[in-house]
Amino acid sequence: MAMVIENVTKLVGKDCHIQDISLQFEPGTFNILLGHTLSGKTSLMRLMAGLDRPTKGRILMNGKDLTGISVRKRDVAMVYQQFINYPSMTVYKNIASPLRLAKVAEKEIDHRVREVAEVLRIDALLDRFPNELSGGQQQRTAIARALVKDTELLLLDEPLVNLDYKLREELRIEMRDIFKRRQSIVVYATTEPLEALTLGGNTAVLYEGHLEQFGSTIDVYQSPQSTRIAQAFSDPAMNFVNGRIDSGTLRLGDTKPAPLQHHLQELAPGSYQFGMRPNHLHLQRTSPEDIEFQTTIDLAEISGSETYIHIIHNGHNWTVQQQGIHAYQMGKQIYAYIDPTQLYVFDLDGHRVVSPEHDSAELT
Amino acid sequence: MNKWEDNKAWFMVIPVFLVVAISAIIPLMTVVNYSLQDIFGPNQRVFVGLEWYKDALTDPRLHAALKRQLMFSSLVLLIEIPLGILIALMMPKKGWGASLSLVLVALPLLIPWNVIGTIWIIFMRPDIGLLGAAINGFGIPFDHTASGLDAWITVMMMEVWHWTPLVVLLAYAGLQAIQEAYFQAARIDGASGWAIFRYIQLPKLRGVLTIAVLLRFMDSFLIYAEPFVLTGGGPGNSTTFLSIYLVKLAVGQFDLGPAAAFSIIYFLIALLFCWLFYQVLLKIGTGDKS
Amino acid sequence: MARIELNNIAHSYIANPRSDADYALRKMDHIWEDGHAYALLGPSGCGKTTLLNIISGLVKPSEGKVLFDGKDVSALLPQERNIAQVFQFPVIYDTMTVFDNLAFPLRNRNVPAAEIQERVKEVSEMLELDNVLHKRAANLSADAKQKISLGRGLVRSDVAAILFDEPLTVIDPHLKLMLRRKLKQIHTRFKLTMVYVTHDQLEALTFADQVVVMNEGQVLQIGSPQELFESPQHTFVGYFIGSPGMNFIPCQMDNGNARIANLKIHVGASSKNLKGDFELGIRPEFLKLRKKQENDTLPVTISEVEDMGTSKIVTVNLADHTLKVKVEENREITFDEGFLEFPPEWIRIYADGDLVETGMEKSPDTLELTE
C-alpha cells in the first residue's frame, strides 16, 4: 500500500507549477524532494497534503483516490520552514494539540507527548512557552507536534533552513534516526544536496516543476541522468567542460589529448559535455593520467574544514573542493587536474551517457 | 477552477452579503428610484427622468455648498495631516509615557459626535465659554453665532481637535513599525533630524498616511453632526455644507426627488475624490525618475 | 582608517550584574589592526552583535574604553566615530535614486559636488551599480540594495572601519557567492578595517584574516581560519568550526600517554608533565581508520557509515565513546571491527574546555599550497 501521484499537473493562472509528475512512495520510506527555490517542491507538497487541488491527475493513498478530499479529512502532518507553534500554549499543550483534536484519552496523550518529547530532547522544556525557546527548540516542538500523531503521511518543507548551521547539522542526523523507526511515508523538501545525502532514503530531483529523476539518494548522486540533476545535486555545483572523443583519445577543451580508459572506452567518437565534481578537481597532480587545465583563481572560500577554490578556465567558472584550510591569492594562475576516471559524461543535450564507476559494495 | 469540497465556505459569507444588500444596496436603489420621480404624496408620483439632476447641477446654492465643502475638506487635510504627524513624532516611543500619551491623544475620539458640538458651543460662548470669553477678554470680538468667519474658525477648531488624534494614532503606529536599523544607518550617514524625517520616516509612513488622508477626506466631506449642532449651518449659509444643505432640502422642504438626485450626485463626487486621492497617493514614491 | 582598541570592555544589559551569566559580553581586550578583516563568529545570543555595536557606538559598554587610533571615543556617537555599518537587511532611502543614496553621506558632510560625482562613480563601478545609478533604489533586488548600503560606507574617504551585521541574511543563496567575492575584492583594494558578524562559518572563514569565535558572551579564540581548525583553543571552537566538529573524549594523562578506560594513546613527549583528568580532542579528518592492527592503533567497532558524496563519515565506538572519522568517498568500509590511529601531532589536550599548551612544536604543515 502506498501513496501514488498520477500524472499530476498544477497550473496557477498561466504559470505551471507542477508539470505532469508521477511518483510512488512506499510506507516506511524516507523521500526527499530536492531542487532549487521555486522548483515545485512546496507546490507538490501542498498537493500531497490536500491544501491545493491538482489541475490534472490524481493522488491515491492505499489505492483510494484522495484527489479533492480536503486536508482536514486526510491523515497528514506537516512541518514548515518557519517555526509554527501556538504562542499561547506551553510546549506540552502544543505537542498534545493534534491528539486533543482527535479526542484521544488524556492518559494516552500524556504518555505519547512525553515519549515524543524525549525523542526530540525537549522533555525538560514541556512547561515553557514557545517564545522562551531558541529557534532549534521551537522547531523541535513543531516536529514533535507533527510526529505525535502517527499519520500516514508526514511532510517536512525545508524544516531546518532557518537554523544555525551547527544546529542544522545535529538535527539532520537526529531526524534521520527518528524517521527510521516510523511506518509513515515521510517526504522532506530541501535545496541542499548535503542534507539529502545525510538523510539518505530516496530522492526525487525537481526542476521547474518537472520530475527529473527518482531513485535511491546515493544512486541519484552517483548516476545523475542529466546535467541539470548533476547541477542540482552537487554542492558546490558540478563543473562542466566540452570535449571530444576521437579515435581512442579524449580531449577536454584545449587540453592535450589523453588516452581513453575505464568507463570512457566504450564511447563513440563525437562531442560531449564532461562533468567534474568539485572534490575530484585537484590543484596538484595525483596521477600521471591526470588531465591538466590552466586556470585563474577567483576566490577561495573556507568552510570549517574544507576550502572551496573558485577558478576560471576559459571563461567557465569552476569550483575545486579541497580538504583542510588553505589560503589562495585572487587572480593567481594555477593548474587544475582531473583524473579521467572521475568524469561524468553527458551528450550535448545534457543527457547522461556514462557516469564514473563506483564500488557497488553495499553497506548493510 | 474546479469544484472543491469546501464550498461550504460560501454559506458562511451569505449573511454578510445579505447585510450589505439590505444596508447599502437596497436603500441606494430606493434613492435612485426617488431621484427619477416627482413625489407629492404616498401614491402620487410622476416620472420626471433626469429633471432633478439638471436642477441640482444648476442650483447656485448647491454650487456654493460644494465650494464651501471642498474648502473645508482641504483645510482639514492641510491642518490635520501635518499636525498629526508632528504630534506622533513628539510622542514618547516606549515606557509608561507612551501608553499615557496614547490614552490622552485618543480621548476626543471617544466622545459622541453631537456631544462634541455641544461641548464646543459652551466652550466658545462669548459670555461664559472658557475660550470664547477669553478671546473677547483680550478685546477681540468673537462670536460664532454672529460672524461667518468666527463660525468657520470654530468649526475648524472643533474638527481638528476631534479628528487629528486619528491621524496621530495612524502615524504613531507607522513610525513604531520602522526598524531601528534605519535610524542607526541614517545617523552613521550623518543625516540631520530633518533629513531623517524627509528620507526615512515620511517615505515609510506613506501607507498609513494614504489611509489617513482617505479617511479624513471622506469624513470631512460628509460632515454633518458637529456643525449642525454648533451652528446649524449659519450664520446665514456660511457653514452650510453639502450634507446640511441636503438635509434642509429633504427634511426641511420635503423635496424628496431633488434631494435624492442631490444625494446621488453627492455620493458620486465623494467617490470621485476618493479615487483621485488613492491614485495620486499610490503613484507617489513609486516608479523611476529616469 | 583606524586601529581600534578595546580596553577592558564588558557589557551587561542588566543594571547591576552579579555573575558572569548577567553579562552579554564578558570582560575582554582586543586590538583590531588597521586594514585587517575580522569576523565575529558564534551561535545566536553569543554576544557578537553586542560587541559590534560597542565598536560602532550604538551600544555604550558598561565597563571599559574604546580607542580609535589611540583616541578615546567611548563617549562618542556612531556618526562621530566615522564608522560605516551594513545591517542584516538592506537599509536604503526608498525615495532616492541609487546615485542619491550613495551621495547622501557626502552631501550630509557638505562635500563639494564635483568630488561627490567622482567618489560615487568610483564606488558604483567597483560595486557594479553603475548601470542602475539613476534607478530608484527601492525597485532593486535585495543584493543590489545591500551593495548600496555598503557603498554608502565606501564613498566616505574618512571612514575608520566598516562593520557588517550578518549582511547576507536576506540574499538568495546563489547570489551570496558573488557578494562574498565582492567583499573580498573590496578589502583587497581599499585595505579598510572591516569587522563582520555572522553565525555562518563559511562566511566568517572566507571573509576574515582573523576570526573571533564567541560563545555565551565570551571570546574563546582569535585566530586565522587555519589556527581555528588545527588548534582550537577551546572545545567549543573545536565543536563549532568544522563539519562534523572535533571529537572529544575524557581521558587520564600520565607520562605522555592518554588513558581511555584500559586503552592507551600516545600523545607525545610534550605532554609528559600532565597528570590527571583531561579531554583529548582530535578532528575527524585527522583520525585514520585501518583495517589491520598496526603500531599505535586501537580497536574500535563501526556503528554507522554515512556517505556524504564527497566523503564518508564513519561513526566508531571506542570504549563507550563515540567518534566520527572522515574517510575518502571511494573507501570501502566493512562493518566489522576496525583499528583507529591517533596521529600524535593532531591530538590536542583540554582541561575544563581550554587547550592545554603542551609546548607542542608547530603543527606539521600538511598544506603544500598554503601561501
A105 near A122, Cβ under 8 Å? no
Give the count of Cβ contacts less than 8 A between chain B and C: 67
d(CA A156, CA A83): 12
Q: Which residues face A320 on adjacent strands?
A: A309
d(CA C74, CA C92): 28
The distance of C326 to chain B (nearest Cα, Å) reads 43
Residue B92 has pLDDT above 60, yes or no: yes
Q: Average pLDDT, whole number, for chain C?
A: 85
Q: Average pLDDT, whole number, for chain B?
A: 83
C148 near C90, Cβ under 8 Å? yes
Percent over 90 (pLDDT), chain C: 22
Q: HSE on the CB side for C316, CA within 13 Å? A: 30
Alpha-carbon distance values, A267 to A49, A220, A249, A272, C106 (Å): 45, 22, 10, 10, 63
Let me know how long chain C is: 371
Percent over 70 (pLDDT), chain A: 98
d(CA A35, CA A214): 12
CB contacts of C94 in chain B (<8 Å) are 203-204, 285
d(CA C202, CA C197): 12
Interface test with C, best of B179, B189, B200, B205 (most C CBs within 10 A): B189
Show which of residues 290-329 on chain C sit within 8 Å of chain A, judged by CB atoms: 305-311, 326, 329
Q: Which amino acid is at A52?
A: D
Alpha-carbon distance values, A210 to A43, A202, A203, A220 (Å): 12, 17, 14, 16
B61 near B245, Cβ under 8 Å? yes
Region B185-199: mean pLDDT is 88
Q: Which amino acid is at B127?
A: D
Give the contacts of B2 (CB within 8 A, at least 6 positions apart): A53, A55, A68
pLDDT at A66: 83
d(CA C208, CA C224): 8
CB contacts of A37 in chain C (<8 Å) are 172-173
Query: Residue A298: which of C181, C206, C285 has the nearest Cβ?
Result: C181
Note whether C173 contacts A197, CB cutoff 8 Å.
Answer: no
Give the contacts of B14 (CB within 8 A, at least 6 positions apart): none
Q: HSE on the CB side for C202, CA within 13 Å? A: 18
User: Which residue, A328, A332, A293, A336, is CA-closest to A307?
Assistant: A328
Bridge-based pairing of strands C83-86 and B44-47 is unpaired
Query: What is the interface pTM, i.e. ipTM, of the complex?
Result: 0.77
Show which of residues 128-147 on chain C sit within 8 Å of chain B, judged by CB atoms: 134-136, 138-139
Q: For cell 474546479, name the residue.
A: B2
Q: Which of A160-164, B240-244, C317-321 has the highest mean pLDDT?
A: C317-321
Note whether B285 contacts C88, CB cutoff 8 Å.
Answer: no
pLDDT at C248: 94
CB contacts of C43 in chain A (<8 Å) are 164, 166-167
Which chain B residue shows the shortest CA-CA distance from A69? B5
A102 near A75, Cβ under 8 Å? no
Answer CATH for A239-354 from 3.40.50.11540, 3.40.190.10, 3.40.50.720, 2.40.50.140? 2.40.50.140
pLDDT at C262: 83
CB contacts of A55 in chain B (<8 Å) are 2
Structural domains for chain C: 4-230 (3.40.50.300), 243-355 (2.40.50.140)
Residue B68 has pLDDT above 60, yes or no: yes
Residue C122's SS3 state is: helix
pLDDT at C103: 93
Question: Phi, psi at residue A121, to the nearest 5°?
Answer: 60, 40
Domain assignments of chain A as residue spans, ordered by start: 3-232, 239-354
Model confidence at A361, pLDDT cuts 50, 70, 90, reads very low
d(CA C287, CA C283): 7
Note whether A68 contacts B5, CB cutoff 8 Å.
Answer: yes
Give the count of Cβ contacts less than 8 A between chain A and B: 10
Region B234-240: mean pLDDT is 77
Q: Which residues face A241 on adjacent strands?
A: A274
Which chain B residue shows the shortest CA-CA distance from C162? B188
pLDDT at C104: 93
Residue C371 has pLDDT above 60, yes or no: no
CB contacts of C343 in chain A (<8 Å) are none
Q: HSE on the CB side for C84, CA within 13 Å? A: 27
Query: Residue C136: which of B192, B199, B289 has the nearest Cβ?
Result: B289
Model confidence at B256, pLDDT cuts 50, 70, 90, reads confident
Which chain A residue shows the shortest CA-CA distance from B2? A55
Q: Is B2 on the interface with A (CB under 8 A)?
A: yes
Q: C-alpha cell of A266?
A: 566504450
Q: Which amino acid is at A254?
A: D
Note whether C105 contacts B185, CB cutoff 8 Å.
Answer: no
Which chain A residue shows the shortest CA-CA distance from C284? A305
User: Which residue, B90, B89, B108, B224, is CA-closest to B165?
Assistant: B108
Q: For cell 545534457, name the residue.
A: A350
Structural domains for chain B: 61-283 (1.10.3720.10)
Region A198-225: mean pLDDT is 90
Specify whether domain A3-232 bears CATH 1.10.220.10: no
The distance of B189 to chain C (nearest Cα, Å) reads 5
Residue C358 has pLDDT above 70, yes or no: no
The distance of A165 to chain C (nearest Cα, Å) reads 7
Element (H, E) at C313: strand C311-318
The distance of A72 to chain B (nearest Cα, Å) reads 10
Least confident range of A310-319, B81-90, C252-261: C252-261
d(CA A182, CA A166): 26
The distance of A68 to chain B (nearest Cα, Å) reads 6
Q: Is B7 on the interface with A (CB under 8 A)?
A: no
Residue B2 has pLDDT above 50, yes or no: no
Model confidence at C172, pLDDT cuts 50, 70, 90, reads confident
Note whether A135 contacts C44, CB cutoff 8 Å.
Answer: yes
d(CA A304, CA A295): 25
Q: Is B6 on the interface with A (CB under 8 A)?
A: yes
Residue B289 has pLDDT above 50, yes or no: no
Bridge-based pairing of strands A281-282 and A333-338 is antiparallel
CB contacts of B192 in chain C (<8 Å) are 108
CA B97 to chain centre: 29
Query: Residues of A near B (CB-CB distance < 8 A)?
Result: 53, 55, 68-70
Q: Using CB atoms within 10 Å of the CB of residue A31, give its burial: 0 to 12 exposed, 13 to 18 middle, 19+ buried.
A: buried
CA angle B189, B193, B195 (to 5 degrees): 60
- Return the higher-pLDDT residue of A351 and B114: A351
d(CA A155, CA A293): 45
User: Which residue, A171, A193, A218, A205, is CA-closest to A278?
Assistant: A193
Percent over 90 (pLDDT), chain B: 16
CB contacts of A205 in chain C (<8 Å) are none
SS3 readout for chain B:
CCCCHHHHHHHHHHHHHHHHHHHHHHHHHHHHHHHCEEEEECCEEEECCCHHHHHHHHCHHHHHHHHHHHHHHHHHHHHHHHHHHHHHHHCCCCCHHHHHHHHHHHHHHHCCHHHHHHHHHHHHCCCCCHHHHHHHHCCCCCCCCCCHHHHHHHHHHHHHHHHHHHHHHHHHHHHHCCCHHHHHHHHHCCCCHHHHHHHHHHHHCHHHHHHHHHHHHHHHHCCCHHHHHHCCCCCCCCCCCHHHHHHHHHHHCCCHHHHHHHHHHHHHHHHHHHHHHHHHHHHCCCCCCC
Q: Average pLDDT, whole number, for chain A?
A: 86
Q: C-alpha cell of C302?
A: 563501526
Give the count of Cβ contacts less than 8 A between chain A and C: 115
Residue B175 has pLDDT above 50, yes or no: yes
Q: Is C44 on the interface with A (CB under 8 A)?
A: yes
Region A1-25: mean pLDDT is 87
User: Which residue, C276, C232, C233, C272, is CA-closest to C253?
Assistant: C276
pLDDT at A1: 64
pLDDT at C269: 72
pLDDT tens string B114-165? 788 888 888 888 888 888 888 888 878 777 777 888 888 888 888 899 999 9
pLDDT at A151: 86
pLDDT at B7: 64
Rg of chain A over Cα atoms, rounded to whole angstroms, equals 24
Note whether C93 contacts B204, CB cutoff 8 Å.
Answer: no
CB contacts of A68 in chain B (<8 Å) are 2, 4-5
d(CA B210, CA B208): 5
Q: What region, left, alpha or beta, does residue C69 occupy, with left being phi > 0 and alpha being psi -120 to 50 degrees?
A: left
CB contacts of B7 in chain A (<8 Å) are none
CB-CB neighbours of B242 under 10 Å: 24
Residue A97's SS3 state is: helix
The distance of C291 to chain A (nearest Cα, Å) reads 16
CB contacts of B285 in chain C (<8 Å) are 94-95, 138
